[in-house]
Chain A
Amino acid sequence: MADETRKIAFICSKGDLDMAYPALVMGWAALGNGIDVTIFFTFWGLDLVTKKRQDHLEISPIGNTSMKMSMMGLPTGNLGIPNWMAALPGMTAFTTWFMKKKIAEVGAPPVSEYLQMLVDGGAKLYGCKMTVDMMGLTKDDLVDGVIDIVTASDFMDMTEGAQIVFI
């Protein structure tokens, strides 16, 4: 057992900016620790590997109860961004810009660069067949790091014995 390489597989199903990072951060940590990494991108998670989308992921303040105004340095304690304000034009662009700034401040790269690091470190990326069909995409629409477009059943086969993390 000790000689067997530990395997971990992430299922990325969300395309929001904040939901893109957990698999990137944990996958990168896993590679650094010698763990075999596979990532399956499904539904909105496919945006992470779609050329036109991956550097345009957003985070909306609408319905986001975690995003507090105090994050922006305002002395407002637990007060969230009021919903009437969150619905104003430009608010999603603002919160996206802000979150990208916070991410860059801790030295984490943008999604495209992060994914390339994972590929270079040996992570295996796969796109979901059903999502690709549903969205009318082809493999050409996905970044080069994606090895193949596979079915859910293929993913089950290739991750036998792996720990699976659903995001």
Chain B
Amino acid sequence: MTEKTAEAILESVEFNEDGYMVDPNAWTPQIAEAIARQEGIAELTEDHWKIIEFCRQRASESGAAPTLRQITSGTGISTKELFSLFPKGPAKKVAKIAGLGKPEGCV
């Protein structure tokens, strides 16, 4: 995906003032790729998708984006890996890319 295609995809998506998608149901994997690109992640690997899918699943059950600790314990992906997959602020990045709101909870 090029910068231009990413921009074109995101043009039709509605975000709140903090940069999270307003409607999680409007999310598509393509939108995730476009947001990831904007967040500095050029390509989403299998592990990225494992995390994204876990978060969407969790949010559909509880109504809230999971916290980092819930992600690591739920996916088996280590804290180190999580921080290298989504560098510089995984809590916000994962939630944004997964089309969810800000994670609720402190741990």
Contact = CB atoms under 8 A, between A and B. Distances in A.
Interface of A: 5, 25, 28-29, 31-35, 106-109, 116-117, 120-122
Sorted nearest first, the 6 A-B pairs with minimum C-beta distance are A34-B89, A32-B91, A120-B79, A34-B88, A120-B80, A108-B107
Given A117-B79, A120-B83, A121-B83, A33 B91 contact: yes
Chain A binding surface, main DSSP class: loop
A107 B92 contact: no
22 contacts: A25-B107, A28-B107, A31-B89, A32-B68, A32-B89, A33-B91, A33-B92, A34-B89, A34-B92, A34-B93, A106-B106, A107-B67, A107-B105, A108-B107, A109-B69, A117-B69, A117-B79, A120-B79, A121-B79, A121-B80, A121-B83, A122-B83
Nearest to B103: A32
B89 A29 contact: no
Nearest to B69: A107
B84 to A, nearest CB: 10
Main secondary structure of the interface of B (DSSP, over half): helix
Interface of B: 67-70, 78-80, 83, 88-93, 103, 105-107
Contacts of B93: 34
Contacts of A32: 68, 89-92, 103
Contacts, number: 47
Nearest to B79: A120
Contacts of B103: 32
B81 to A, nearest CB: 9
Contacts of B90: 32
B3 to A, nearest CB: 18
A159 B69 CA distance: 27
Nearest to A103: B107
B56 to A, nearest CB: 19
Contacts of A106: 106-107
A33 B107 CA distance: 13
Nearest to A116: B79
